Structure 1
């Protein structure tokens, strides 16, 4: 799994990435996220590429998010809209991206010490994956769409 920052030079990755309506219940589309990131320098869109160079995972790393105070840790970066292209679900790509993420963050954001995210309570599959990959569950809060668990991982 190779993680890369999205730029206008790799716009084809954005155009090829597909999410279902069911997935969009829990995340915003990559197009929406990229559009917002163009106006917010604290947001960095990321693609995860498989061995064939296809974009299989997408998320945004967001410094100083609106949820920062909910996590009660300093020097953190927030993951938004973590998603897998529906054509590549259940192949282990999400797990591979999360395993590769600490090294990527240390390389590109050396001041960051914690990875944080919210997982919607109804999204039990994602919740279980985050726990298995070393995230600790914090408080339950009111998320953007659903009640959500605060998840934290020390790098």
Structure 2
């Protein structure tokens, strides 16, 4: 795994061309970056974040959401919900998703100093994602949430 010169960056329109090449064939458990970016234009609470390589490639995409949806997963007002997390098909199994999650606490601390918890839901059928989050510092909580695509396990990370 070669991950020189990668960083998490807030989305801006200069990334649109690279995102146009983003390949995501399995939408069973996530949405497309395009859909999430459209939603972010309608809500100040949605913040698209990209893992960007030194070559301008975007292996991983996610949204940080501090709107009320987070309260399905936590009672904490100082939290953000991770949603629409995905990795471009061309970058699967190369460690980029794990790297993005490893960099995320420092990114959130720098960009949102009042946020002290990250939360997310993982579909019960999505074992690879559960393993990814558990290996990236997230803790599975005993509570579950019934999402539109089935039972969701709740994960969190205190920052």
Q: TM-score, normalised by structure 1?
A: 0.93
Residue 147 (structure 1) aligns with: 151
Q: Which residues of 2 match residues 106-125 of structure 1 at below 5 A?
A: 106-125=109-128
The list of structure 1 runs, each at least 4 consecutive aligned residues, that deviate by more than 6 angstroms after superposition, is: none
- The Cα shift of 1:69 comes to 4.2
Q: TM-score, normalised by structure 2?
A: 0.91
Pairing 1:18–2:23 present? yes
Q: Return the match for 2:87 from 84, 88, 92.
A: 84
- The Cα shift of 1:13 comes to 2.3
SS in structure 2 of the partner of residue 107 of structure 1: helix
Gaps of 5+ in 2: 1-5
1:22-47 per-residue CA deviation (whole Å, 9 max, x = no partner) reads 2x111010111101110000001111
- The Cα shift of 1:146 comes to 1.7
Pairing 1:129–2:135 present? no
The 2-side partners of 1:25 and 1:116 are apart by 20
Equivalent residues, number: 153
Asked whether the 8 Å contact 2:69–2:81 carries over to 1, the reply is no
Gaps of 5+ in 1: none
Aligned alpha-carbon RMSD (Å): 1.2
